[in-house]
């Protein structure tokens, strides 16, 4: 028997990163590691699900980074899928786990606990939401089911509910499968984490690709015919649909942590310090279910992104293994793609900067992804937010052609270093005509923001 036992609640990005890092630093004899995962899969790429559904990625196995068997054989981590942790007893340091196949509950003691319960999809409180033909895209299982439905039913009309990242990527997947698609978004723009004008560029691209875009309408109900969904009813119209995909976002899955008495933060997610320690000694949390710090506002935030979950999990695992590292927080970077259009953001949007009470300029710039004269050069729209006065970079958004999106990382790095736009305008960025304009769009956008600051 090992000296100590670590139980990991949730076997995906954060949980298994933590388990792996802990194992690297502590041997099997020193630390037994058991991970319980409710779904049938460990460590998979949730961001790959729309591409699996769309058929771009052929096999579901390719999305699995490491299977339970691999965890067992390569790292001596006992990963048990289809096991759900129902409750945590912090006092007696035990969890109750249900084996979802047999239905049996079991009591398991732990010395250390790692909470990585991730998220649960937001489902609108409407009737018949559980009807056949209504899908989500939150777990690998849900991706497999959507894929299977598309393959076998061959639906003709899809309604995608929600115009965020998952909504957009799902719409792209539907288009690729020649399913005629309507995207419904309650807000007045798709991608409402972007400023209005940037959201309009996204809406344009959706429409050009043949997606019907319905904005400012809430889904109020579903109609069912012969046991399967047949239409989506919004506040203003009824949309025929033989398949419906919900992409309404996610909320942190804080149970059973919250009930057990672990402190939640102001965002509603599990409170952790920069070492991923929760409010109770020896209990750690990381990933989508936990809070982190926004480096721009210095306030706690709760993001649901695989990149952040992996990083937080790594930090937790290193510390569980006896290390001493901290997670430096985030700046709010995200990216997606719709067809040829790349869409990215980092830092604060205008709405967010306003709600922080900041005085700022938000400057729009139009540029190109290659030298203007180079064949195939495509438009790039940028938006840069800078604080007034002083010019501290607050955020950036990019919507544009090939290669435009990843330029957000330059802004993210600039934000990471608290740069002013004035410090950015002469940065030594790379240029060759097939890959950039002479003044990289990032530099032009920073300069325009500086000009607007006056």
As given in the structure block, the two tokens for residue 126 are: 């409407």
C-alpha to C-alpha distance for 382 and 385, rounded to whole angstroms: 10
- 162 sits in the region (left: phi over 0; alpha: psi -120 to 50; else beta) called left
Per-residue mark of binding to a copy of itself, 358-397 (x: CB under 8 A): -------------x-xxx----------------------
| Cα 319 to chain centroid, rounded | 24
SS3 54: helix
C-alpha to C-alpha distance for 277 and 376, rounded to whole angstroms: 50
Please report whether residue 138 would count as binding a copy of itself according to CB under 8 A. Answer: no
Please report whether residue 412 would count as binding a copy of itself according to CB under 8 A. Answer: yes
Strands (E), 65-156: 78-81, 83-89, 94-99, 105-109, 112-115, 119-121, 134-135
Per-residue mark of binding to a copy of itself, 62-91 (x: CB under 8 A): xx----------------------------
**Shortest approach of a copy of itself to residue 205 CB, angstroms?**
15
Please report whether residue 331 would count as binding a copy of itself according to CB under 8 A. Answer: yes
C-alpha to C-alpha distance for 240 and 251, rounded to whole angstroms: 29
Per-residue mark of binding to a copy of itself, 414-443 (x: CB under 8 A): x-xx-x---x--xxxxxxxxxxx-xxx-x-
Please report whether residue 274 would count as binding a copy of itself according to CB under 8 A. Answer: no
- Contacting range for a copy of itself; rule: CB under 8 A; set: 43-51, 147-155, 265-273, 351-359: 43-51
* Identity of the residue, 197 or 422, whose beta carbon is nearer to a copy of itself in the bound complex: 422
**C-beta of residue 429 within 8 angstroms of C-beta of residue 409:** no
C-alpha to C-alpha distance for 380 and 399, rounded to whole angstroms: 6
* Identity of the residue, 35 or 301, whose beta carbon is nearer to a copy of itself in the bound complex: 301
Please report whether residue 23 would count as binding a copy of itself according to CB under 8 A. Answer: no
**C-beta of residue 19 within 8 angstroms of C-beta of residue 114:** yes
Please report whether residue 399 would count as binding a copy of itself according to CB under 8 A. Answer: no
**Shortest approach of a copy of itself to residue 451 CB, angstroms?**
11
Give the helix/strand (H/E) hosting 251.
strand 250-252
**Shortest approach of a copy of itself to residue 430 CB, angstroms?**
4
Q: Which residues are catalytic?
A: 47
SS3 289: helix
**Shortest approach of a copy of itself to residue 215 CB, angstroms?**
23
Q: Which of 121, 110, 123 is CA-nearest to residue 8?
A: 110
**Shortest approach of a copy of itself to residue 98 CB, angstroms?**
30
Residues 94, 98, 99: CA angle, nearest 5 degrees: 130
Please report whether residue 337 would count as binding a copy of itself according to CB under 8 A. Answer: yes
> Which chain residues interact with a copy of itself by CB under 8 A?
45, 47-48, 51, 56-57, 62-63, 169, 305-308, 310-311, 315, 327-328, 330-337, 342, 344, 346, 371, 373-375, 403, 405-410, 412-414, 416-417, 419, 423, 426-436, 438-440, 442
């Amino acid at each position: 028997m090992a000296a100590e036992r670590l139980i990991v609640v949730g076997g995906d990005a954060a949980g298994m990163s933590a388990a792996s890092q802990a194992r690297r630093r502590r041997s099997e004899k020193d630390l037994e590691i058991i991970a319980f995962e409710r779904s049938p899969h460990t460590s998979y790429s949730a961001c790959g699900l729309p591409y699996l559904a769309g058929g771009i990625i052929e096999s579901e196995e390719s999305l699995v980074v490491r299977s339970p068997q691999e965890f067992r054989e390569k790292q001596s981590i006992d990963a048990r899928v289809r096991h759900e942790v129902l409750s945590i007893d912090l006092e007696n340091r035990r969890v109750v786990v249900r084996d979802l196949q047999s239905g049996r509950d079991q009591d398991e003691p732990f010395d250390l606990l790692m909470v990585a319960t991730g998220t649960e999809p937001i489902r609108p409180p409407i009737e018949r939401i559980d009807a056949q033909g209504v899908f989500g895209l939150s777990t690998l299982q849900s991706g497999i089911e959507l894929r299977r439905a598309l393959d076998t039913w061959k639906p003709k009309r899809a309604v995608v509910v929600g115009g965020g990242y998952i909504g957009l990527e799902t719409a792209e997947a539907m288009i690729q499968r020649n399913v005629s698609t309507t995207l419904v978004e309650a807000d007045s723009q798709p991608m409402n984490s972007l400023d209005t004008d940037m959201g309009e560029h996204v809406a344009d691209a959706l429409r050009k690709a043949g997606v019907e875009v319905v904005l400012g309408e809430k889904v109020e109900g579903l109609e069912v015919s012969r046991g399967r969904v047949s239409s989506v009813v919004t506040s203003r119209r009824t949309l025929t649909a033989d398949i419906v995909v919900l992409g309404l976002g996610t909320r942190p899955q804080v149970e059973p942590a919250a009930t057990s008495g672990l402190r939640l933060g102001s965002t509603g997610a599990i409170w952790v310090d920069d070492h991923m320690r929760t409010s109770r000694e020896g209990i750690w949390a990381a990933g989508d279910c936990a809070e982190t710090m926004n480096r721009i506002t210095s306030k706690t935030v709760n993001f649901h992104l695989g990149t952040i979950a992996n990083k937080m999990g790594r930090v937790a695992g290193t510390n569980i293994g006896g290390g001493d590292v901290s997670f430096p927080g985030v700046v709010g970077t995200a990216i997606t793609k719709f067809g040829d259009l790349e869409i990215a953001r980092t830092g604060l949007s205008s709405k967010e900067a306003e709600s922080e009470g900041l005085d700022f300029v938000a400057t729009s710039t139009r540029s190109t992804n290659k030298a203007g004269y180079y064949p195939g050069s495509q438009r790039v729209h940028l938006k840069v937010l800078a604080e007034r006065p002083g010019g501290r970079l607050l955020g950036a958004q990019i919507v544009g052609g090939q290669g435009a999106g990843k330029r957000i990382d330059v802004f993210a790095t600039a934000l990471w270093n608290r740069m002013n736009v004035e410090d950015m305008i002469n940065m030594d960025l790379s240029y060759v005509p097939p890959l950039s304009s002479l003044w990289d769009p990032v530099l032009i956008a920073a300069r325009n923001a500086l000009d607007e600051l006056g």
